[in-house]
Amino acid sequence: MEDFETPFGNAMLESFDGVNKQSTLDARVKNLKGVGNLVEVDFGSHYKEEFDEIADKASQKVVEPSQELGRYLKPENAFEHFESILNPSGRALQCLAYIAGLTPNDLLRELNDLQFLKDGVAVIGEKLNQENPSPRSVKFDPDWLNQLDPNGEVIENIQNIVGKVTADNAGDLANDLTNYYAGSGYTINDLRNCHAINLFNEGYLMQEIAEIQGVEKSWLRSRVANFKRKAGL
């Protein structure tokens, strides 16, 4: 890195030669993008762009699919699944991941204290750390959410947690939210991938879906392709 005249991309790509598992590849690519964000602060956008280019090339490496199973939740079975979750807050959190692509971390950064979720609007603020998806405004059909929480009591319960968030405790509070749907059979990542697949099937472009989920198109494409392989789609 101290030799600014020598391109470092090829050397970094060569470090991926020994990677042969999808889970390892995903983690390494994610780390590269994180380093690129840090490098931008000290060295400028040119170096971040080179890290992003390296990460995109590395993500195309052909590796063995992860043995972890992905689970696709069909739209015709989704609402019944949400109703089956014992904790009411867990129902709402998983529903929001499926219909809007939102994570618990997104909700912790919601700028309007969740008050417009029941109208189908979420406004996600600045990142609390480099792992968070980008700031964005998301519009979605809130019909299922309102059926699961007709009086707004569940959203109010989640609001109480959101109101305590700081940059230091966000990770812990996000874990608190995940406890509401533990053991449901689907992870938030499963449901976000389902959300992406459903939008694509409705005619949305991959770039549009990436903007809704606050991620880069190349990363979303790789993530969804891996999920579809694991889910047998």
Question: pLDDT of 199-209, one tens digit each?
Answer: 999 999 999 99
How far is residue 158's CA from residue 93's CA, in Å, rounded to a whole number? 9
51-60, 124-133, 147-156: which has the minimum mean pLDDT?
51-60
Q: Where in the chain is the domain with CATH 1.10.443?
A: 75-231
Q: Tens of pLDDT along 179-199? A: 888 778 888 999 999 999 999
Residue 230 clears pLDDT 50, i.e. is over it: yes
Residue 230 is encoded by which pair of tokens?
Answer: 């694991």
The domain made up of 75-231 has a fold known as hpI Integrase; Chain A (1.10.443)
Both tokens of residue 88?
Answer: 């009411």
What is the token pair recorded at 50? 């080179």
Please give the Cα distance from 97 to 194 (Å, whole number): 9
Report the chain's mean pLDDT, rounded to a whole number: 83
Token representation of residue 231? 């889910």
In a 10 Å sphere around its CB, with 0-12 CB exposed, 13-18 middle and 19+ buried, how is residue 220 labelled?
buried
Residues contacting 180, CB < 8 A, separation 6+:
87, 89, 90, 93
CB 135 within 8 A of CB 151: no
Cα–Cα distance, 146 to 202 (Å, whole number): 22
Q: Which two tokens stand for residue 154?
A: 């569940």
Question: What phi, psi does 121 have (nearest 5°)?
Answer: -135, 130
Higher-pLDDT residue of 99, 187:
99
